[in-house]
Amino acid sequence: MAQTNPLISFIIPVYNEEKNIVGVFRDLYEVIRKNPTWRTEVIVIEDGSKDRTLEVIRELLHEYPQTRLIEHSLNQGYCRSMRDGIRAAQGDYLMYIGADEEFDCSEVPSFVNPLLADGEEHADVVLGVRWQRNAYKLHRFFISVIYIFLLNAMFKLRVNDYNWSQVWSRDLLNSIEIRSKSLFMLPEIIIKAYDLGYKVKEVPSNHRGRRWGKSSLNMKIMGYALLDSLRFWVSRSRPSYNARRSSAAEIIAADS
């Protein structure tokens, strides 16, 4: 059942995106302004960028003072940024948005509306699905397809996109312990949502591709994600597995 006027936290981890972050701020806040009944907060995690990203964000804060900025003095990686954003967020729902402008923020309502709906239309988790990835180079497209196929085969699911913009309920995040320290972090949340019976909805999403900069994704990063997925597959196969965290466990596993 939908909550009455829930708070929605938008979490944006940022690293070396000085030319893209301005558009993300502009487009996201335009959507927020067009939906005045929403209760929202925006949390940006600046992960020790080596370019002018931090300077640009500080300038943007004059125009968007309601933004909460978390600064990392040194680059600590995507997972640490996500964890810090989740910890800081106060929302009933948390939406992850990339800082590279590949996601079109005008689509945010299609992610938020299922959270606000009642009955069969309501969802606890909303996943964006890139049905067309025209901006991908051929090798990256095949890597993505193989990755999704492997995860679905391993975990016996039919998820069409594991690593795009998505929204999770706070209740879900409070119920699980996130152990992954790689890109498998998002799939881990999704799998545990299914394991615990949360209602998951997929919505179509456009993949625009980068206008500026270069993706940090490489085979080493994908290798870590696959290794994490294998570890979780082993853990999930054991009779003792329980997706719900123990009362003594931290909501988000420590990075050490």
**CATH code for the domain of 217:** 3.90.550.10
> Tell me, what's the pLDDT at 248?
44
Supply 196's token pair: 């615990």
Ramachandran angles phi, psi of 3, nearest 5°: -80, 155
pTM for the model: 0.90
144 against 159, higher pLDDT: 159
Q: What is the mean pLDDT of the chain?
A: 89
With 0-12 / 13-18 / 19 or more C-beta atoms within 10 angstroms meaning exposed / middle / buried, residue 177 is middle
Residue 130 lies in a domain: yes
> Tell me, what's the pLDDT at 247?
62
Range of the domain at 55: 7-237
Residue 242 lies in a domain: no
Residue 84 lies in a domain: yes
d(CA 172, CA 93): 9
> Tell me, what's the pLDDT at 158?
95
**Ranges 134-138, 158-162, 183-187, 197-201: which has the least confidence:** 134-138
253 against 201, higher pLDDT: 201
Total tally of structural domains belonging to the chain: 1
Which residue reads 């625009």 in tokens? 208
Residue 243 lies in a domain: no
